[in-house]
């Protein structure tokens, strides 16, 4: 098990810069999720740690040792890829044995059998051991490829969107299983995904990656409740955080183009410094509520029924915002409603830079 | 590419634009091909089968007689013919093995990116584009004992490659290897580049060494296409005529095809040579059949 550190990593592919001065630290035994959109540099980061790519600048440290000159084999990491990468023509057992059989590190046969059986039991693929890999379903293939990673007891597990090719039900099941597996093994996991639900539900820590830069690192709660900038705010959470332009006037939030006001409890200190300055107000949909005596009037633009709750799209002027309300709330489209927000939950962002005022200090 | 049964015309095709029906296409393209094949391939094949049971000689107008299996019986009990077959077998084994090793080795070297890869690959393919007779004549010059560059480079003095009974066959085989290794290389390259890169990466992550990766991943995935190369080259080598005929007259290098040629066009023993041609055909078919069976087994795995 290992501690990983990336220091000032820059990676260029020809003229294209994939990663820019990336700093990242993953503690021993941590489940770290790297979250970002397609093309943000997540896979590149994984491949750099695995030793499949060399950084243009910067260092990769595993347990404090600079591994620049180490190949993938010496780094002793396991990599689970989205496309499974099972070895064709071999049975599941042969695939699981593959990493244990190279001559240099050849283990005794009994040990190999023991490890393969244990991995198969953990992943519940014992009944598949003698089957050829091309006769497996997607979920089974992904289990085998995870199995091939765990038989070896590597120092770090790297997973590149391992669940994204699976259907929703299976994805949910494997998500729980992976998390359990990680706790059971006590291993360091670096899990890459573009799915913020995976990130929130699995990660001990989440790093949000945007255009080759780490925007924010923190626990899922920190990322969710206290996003560092408007990018994180709009990327994490489903539906995303509402972002409304406006400014603070005498301790009240005044939405400039929309012409409505809401109470704000940021305290005198915040308002003194920010009075009149152009801001973006961020509020999570679940902190917007409907009330007959609430200060702002809106019309219901759209209703999404999710069973446990309803997600309303409210229209004020020509802007919309989302509100999550209990399922029993009875609303119809185009119905006029009044809404308010929880003033304690409002996050302020600077209009120009998009950075949260709490993070800017 | 998926193969689609041609049941009706693609409405966007040029044939459809011209208003050609399926029937027209059949008449224009398929019937001439079939007619050509029947006249020039199938008919002579059957006709020569008939000749093989007679004592017909093409240069004489004497009436010929039906002799039954006598030609076959004589050929199969002729030690001379058997020694031709042994020579051919030696030749096939040496030259095909050489081509597989050299061709696959070259493909392994070329299966990465480096500057001028396209140009080098093309240059390496040149030998197989030449006429076999020309290749034979040039190599005869290269092998020349008095001033040939081969003896000069290897310091072999006046070693007579092509007129030494022990070396003539192998000298021809080396020429054949030179000429046809590019063919094996081309097929192997296609096979190698079809092995997905992520499998190599997975193997590297699994800490597999070069040899382990090669034997466990590369070879199994390339072996079907290597077998196809092997089938083609074996068939071709079995019936080699031109290179050997232009290069040497040594009886130790008399391949079965040369024997056949002499019997048909020097001794004018047409009936008997038809019988010999049929024996060769059956042997090639038998060998190919074995390979194809094995190929299907490899593919199933």
Name the domain count of chain B.
Answer: 1
Task: Look at A98 and B198 and tell me if their CB atoms are within 8 Å.
Answer: no
Asked if the structure places residue B145 within a domain, the reply is yes
Task: Look at B221 and A88 and tell me if their CB atoms are within 8 Å.
Answer: yes
Structure confidence at residue B228 (pLDDT): 93
For residue A79, list chain B residues with Cβ-Cβ distance below 8 A: 201-202, 205
Low-confidence ranges of chain B (pLDDT < 70): 1-12, 15-16, 301
Sign of CA dihedral B108, B113, B115, B116: positive
B240 to each of B92, B172, B265, how far by Cα in Å?
Answer: 9, 10, 17
Smallest Cα–Cα separation from B241: which of B220, B257, B259?
B257
Phi-psi region of A276 (alpha: psi -120 to 50; beta: other; left: phi over 0): left
For residue A103, list chain B residues with Cβ-Cβ distance below 8 A: 209, 212
Please tell me which of the candidates B203, B205, B221 has its beta carbon nearest to residue A77. Answer: B205
> For residue A32, what are the contacts with CB-CB under 8 A and spacing of at least 6?
A26, A188, A189, A190, A191, A203, A204, A205, A206, A207
Measure the CA angle with vertex A349, ends A345 and A350; round to 5°. 155
How far is it, in rounded angstroms, from Cα B3 to Cα B277? 36
Smallest Cα–Cα separation from A178: which of A124, A113, A217, A227?
A124
pLDDT tens per residue across all 361 residues of chain A: 688 999 999 999 988 989 999 999 999 999 999 999 988 889 999 999 999 999 999 999 999 899 988 888 888 899 998 888 899 889 999 999 998 888 777 788 899 999 999 888 888 889 999 999 888 888 889 889 988 988 888 889 999 988 887 788 878 888 888 888 898 888 899 999 998 888 999 999 999 999 989 999 999 999 999 999 999 999 998 889 999 888 887 777 777 656 677 777 655 445 555 667 888 889 999 999 888 888 888 889 999 998 889 999 998 887 888 999 998 888 889 999 988 888 888 888 888 888 888 776 5
Structure confidence at residue B95 (pLDDT): 97
Mutation for testing the A interface, residue in B206, B209, B210, B297 having most A CBs under 10 Å: B206
Measure the CA angle with vertex A124, ends A120 and A129; round to 5°. 50
Mutation for testing the B interface, residue in A89, A103, A148, A161 having most B CBs under 10 Å: A89
Asked if the structure places residue B10 within a domain, the reply is no
Smallest Cα–Cα separation from A210: which of A241, A242, A233, A232?
A232
How far is it, in rounded angstroms, from Cα B28 to Cα A218? 73
For residue B202, list chain A residues with Cβ-Cβ distance below 8 A: 79, 81, 85, 87
How far is it, in rounded angstroms, from Cα A36 to Cα B218? 35
- Map residue A300 onto helix, strand or coil: strand
Cβ-based neighbour number of residue A332 at 10 Å = 8
Which tokens go with B125? 């393919």
Q: Are B66 and B53 in contact (CB under 8 A)?
A: yes
Asked if the structure places residue B28 within a domain, the reply is no
Residues spanned by the domain of B190: 80-300
Structure confidence at residue B3 (pLDDT): 46
Distance of residue A219 Cα from the nearest chain B Cα, in angstroms: 29
Structure confidence at residue B4 (pLDDT): 47
Asked if the structure places residue B180 within a domain, the reply is yes
Asked if the structure places residue B73 within a domain, the reply is no
Q: Is the peptide bond before A239 cis (omega within 30 degrees of 0)?
A: yes
| Phi, psi dihedrals of residue A218, rounded to the nearest 5° | 175, 180
First to last CA, chain B: 23
Asked if the structure places residue B66 within a domain, the reply is no
Structure confidence at residue A259 (pLDDT): 61
Task: Look at A99 and B208 and tell me if their CB atoms are within 8 Å.
Answer: yes
- The CATH H-level superfamily of A4-235 is P-loop containing nucleotide triphosphate hydrolases (3.40.50.300)
Structure confidence at residue A164 (pLDDT): 83
Asked if the structure places residue B231 within a domain, the reply is yes
For residue A87, list chain B residues with Cβ-Cβ distance below 8 A: 199, 202-203, 216-217
For residue B212, list chain A residues with Cβ-Cβ distance below 8 A: 101-103
Domain boundaries, chain A: 4-235, 242-360
Cα Rg of chain A (Å, integer): 24
Tell how far CA A141 is from the center of its chain.
23
Q: Are A49 and A77 in contact (CB under 8 A)?
A: yes
Q: Are B179 and B243 in contact (CB under 8 A)?
A: yes
Structure confidence at residue B89 (pLDDT): 96
Smallest Cα–Cα separation from A67: which of A156, A188, A191, A145?
A156
CATH topology of domain A242-360: OB fold (Dihydrolipoamide Acetyltransferase, E2P) (2.40.50)
Cβ-based neighbour number of residue A290 at 10 Å = 18
Beta-strand pair A309-316/A319-326? antiparallel
For residue B217, list chain A residues with Cβ-Cβ distance below 8 A: 87
How far is it, in rounded angstroms, from Cα B209 to Cα B169? 40
Asked if the structure places residue B170 within a domain, the reply is yes
* CATH code: domain of residue B185: 1.10.3720.10
pLDDT digits (tens, 9 = 90+) for A192-203: 999 888 899 999
Which residues of B make CB contacts under 8 Å with A?
Answer: 196, 198-199, 201-209, 212, 216-217, 220-221, 301
Tokens 């008919």 — which residue? B43
């Amino acid at each position: 098990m290992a501690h990983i550190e990336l220091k000032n990593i820059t990676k260029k592919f020809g003229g294209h810069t994939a990663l820019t001065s990336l700093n990242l630290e993953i503690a021993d035994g941590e489940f770290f999720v790297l979250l970002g959109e397609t093309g943000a540099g997540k896979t590149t980061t994984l491949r750099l740690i695995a030793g499949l790519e060399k950084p243009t600048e910067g260092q990769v440290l595993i347990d404090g040792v600079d591994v620049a000159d180490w190949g993938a084999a010496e780094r002793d990491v396991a990599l689970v890829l989205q496309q499974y990468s099972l070895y064709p023509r071999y049975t599941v057992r042969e695939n699981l044995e593959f990493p244990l059989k190279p001559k240099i590190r050849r283990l005794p046969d009994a040990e190999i059998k023991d490890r393969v059986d244990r991995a198969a039991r953990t992943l519940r693929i014992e009944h598949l051991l003698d089957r050829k890999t091309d006769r497996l379903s997607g979920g089974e293939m992904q289990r085998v490829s995870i199995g091939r990673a765990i038989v070896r007891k590597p120092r770090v597990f790297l997973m590149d969107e391992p669940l994204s090719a699976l259907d929703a039900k299976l994805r949910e099941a494997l998500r729980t299983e992976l998390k359990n597996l990680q706790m059971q093994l006590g291993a360091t996991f670096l899990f890459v995904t573009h799915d913020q639900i995976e990130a929130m539900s699995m990660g001990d820590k989440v790093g949000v990656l945007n255009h080759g830069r780490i925007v924010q690192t923190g626990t899922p709660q920190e990322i969710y409740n206290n996003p560092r900038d408007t990018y994180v705010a709009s990327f994490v959470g489903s539906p995303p955080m509402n972002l409304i332009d406006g400014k603070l006037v005498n301790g009240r939030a005044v939405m400039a183009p929309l012409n409505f006001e809401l109470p704000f409890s940021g305290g005198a200190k915040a308002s003194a410094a920010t009075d009149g300055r152009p801001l973006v107000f961020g509020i999570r949909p679940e902190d917007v509520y409907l009330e007959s005596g609430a200060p702002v009037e809106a019309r219901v633009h759209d209703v999404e029924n999710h069973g446990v709750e309803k997600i309303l799209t409210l229209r004020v002027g020509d802007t919309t915002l989302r509100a999550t309300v209990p399922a029993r709330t009875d609303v119809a489209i185009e119905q006029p409603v009044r809404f308010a927000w929880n003033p304690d939950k409002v996050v302020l962002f600077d209009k120009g830079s998009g950075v949260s005022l709490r993070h800017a200090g | 590419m998926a193969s689609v049964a041609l049941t009706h015309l693609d409405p966007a095709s040029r044939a459809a634009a011209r208003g050609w029906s399926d029937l027209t296409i059949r008449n224009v393209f398929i019937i001439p091909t079939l007619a050509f094949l029947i006249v020039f391939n199938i008919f002579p094949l059957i006709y020569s089968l008939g000749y093989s049971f007679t004592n017909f000689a093409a240069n004489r107008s004497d009436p010929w007689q039906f002799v039954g299996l006598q030609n076959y019986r004589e050929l199969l009990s002729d030690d001379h013919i058997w020694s031709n077959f042994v020579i051919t077998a030696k030749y096939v084994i040496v030259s095909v093995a050489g081509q597989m090793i050299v061709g696959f080795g070259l493909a392994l070297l070329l299966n990465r990116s480096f500057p001028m890869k396209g140009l080098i690959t093309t240059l390496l393919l040149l030998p197989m584009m030449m006429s076999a007779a020309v290749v034979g004549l040039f190599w005869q010059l290269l092998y020349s004992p008095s001033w040939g560059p081969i003896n000069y480079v290897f310091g072999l003095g006046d070693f007579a490659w092509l007129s030494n009974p022990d070396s003539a066959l192998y000298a021809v085989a080396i020429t054949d290897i030179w000429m046809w290794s590019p063919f094996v290389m081309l097929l192997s390259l296609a096979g190698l580049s079809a092995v997905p890169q992520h499998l190599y990466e997975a193997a590297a992550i699994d800490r597999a060494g070069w040899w382990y990766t090669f034997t466990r991943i590369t070879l199994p995935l390339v072996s079907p296409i290597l077998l196809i190369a092997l089938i083609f080259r074996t068939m071709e080598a079995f019936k080699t005529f031109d290179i050997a005929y232009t290069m040497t007259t040594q009886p130790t290098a008399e391949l079965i095809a040369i024997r056949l040629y002499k019997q048909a066009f020097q001794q004018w023993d047409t009936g008997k040579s038809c019988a010999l041609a049929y024996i060769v055909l059956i042997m090639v078919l038998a060998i190919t059949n074995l390979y194809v069976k094995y190929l299907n087994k490899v593919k199933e795995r």
